[in-house]
Amino acid sequence: MIDLKPTAFLVTSLLIFSGATEVGASPVLQPHVAAYTFRLVTARSGGSVTDASGRMTFELTDACRGWTSAQKTSLDLGFSSGGSVTFGWSNSTYEAKDGSSFRFFVEQFSEAGDDEKQSGKAKIKADGSGGVAEIEENGEIRAQELPRGTLFPSAFTVKLIDAARSGEVILSGPLFDGSGEKGVYDVSLVIGKHLPPGTAPSVEGLENLESWQVRAAFYSVGDRNSVPDQEQSFRLYENGVIDRLQLDMGDFVVEGLLSDYETQNASDC
């Protein structure tokens, strides 16, 4: 199986927020369903991948005291040898709205049947000094300490939107999403070019919104001097919609274009 990190920051938390764009206002999560279509944008010299396509769906639901999400991605790869393979990943999460707790289930799968699954839960201390996660894989449970400043996916995404709206350029910190061996990564983001309203959105409803180009690199905790475990880039709208998501797989890069999204009603709590 191709080793992919199904990063929840984007793949689980492709968060679409309501338009709370006034200065000092925190973004408010909007329950929604979104779909993305993937295509190959770069096949690097020496690599074996010559074609790639796929689809990702994401749903965010208001669960009163928290947010639940469900995501599934599938990619079809074609190789220079003439062969092909279908693989992907899915996950489901619950995150408390106060950012204190997180539950997750992550699965990677391929047509060869070599599926990988892990699940667990995590809690962060109220003073931000860290936390602990319990990760279950193959019937075994392991404990993982979470460093000071760790955030869960939706809280991290809110922080990113606030930083972009405030004109910040760099944002970094530990993120726990439940994927990978430890479930936690050091994330470094560069908030780049500001795009004014009307700059070619992929779907209707975004044409009057400003947006930013963002690049993200994911590192093993405490190892930022090494090569990133994964790199991504995306377009972030001021209302939180993410589009033109590029995933760097090493030998190739795929781009996910927002093809459809629909807002959902909030729960009557």
Condensed to tens digits (0 to 9), the pLDDT of residues 140-163 reads 999 999 999 999 988 888 888 889
CA 261/CA 269 separation, integer angstroms: 24
Averaged over 237-266, what is the pLDDT? 85
Give me the pLDDT at residue 110, please.
Answer: 85
d(CA 212, CA 104): 29
- Global model pTM greater than 0.75: yes
Task: Kindly state the average pLDDT of the residues 155-178.
Answer: 91
The Cα–Cα gap between 215 and 223 comes to 18
Q: State how far the Cα of 29 lies from the Cα of 266, in Å rounded to an integer.
A: 9
**Least confident residue range of 154-168, 197-211, 218-232:** 197-211
Tokens of 73: 């991605």
CB 251 within 8 A of CB 48: yes
User: For the chain, where are the alpha helices, taking DSSP H only?
Assistant: 153-165
Cα 166 from chain centre? 22
**Could you tell me how many residues make up the chain?**
269
Given a cut of 60, is residue 1 above it in pLDDT? no
Structure token pair of residue 28 = 């408010």
Which of 38-52, 136-150, 177-191, 221-235 shows the lowest mean pLDDT across its residues? 221-235
Helix (H) or strand (E) holding 55, with range, is strand 49-62
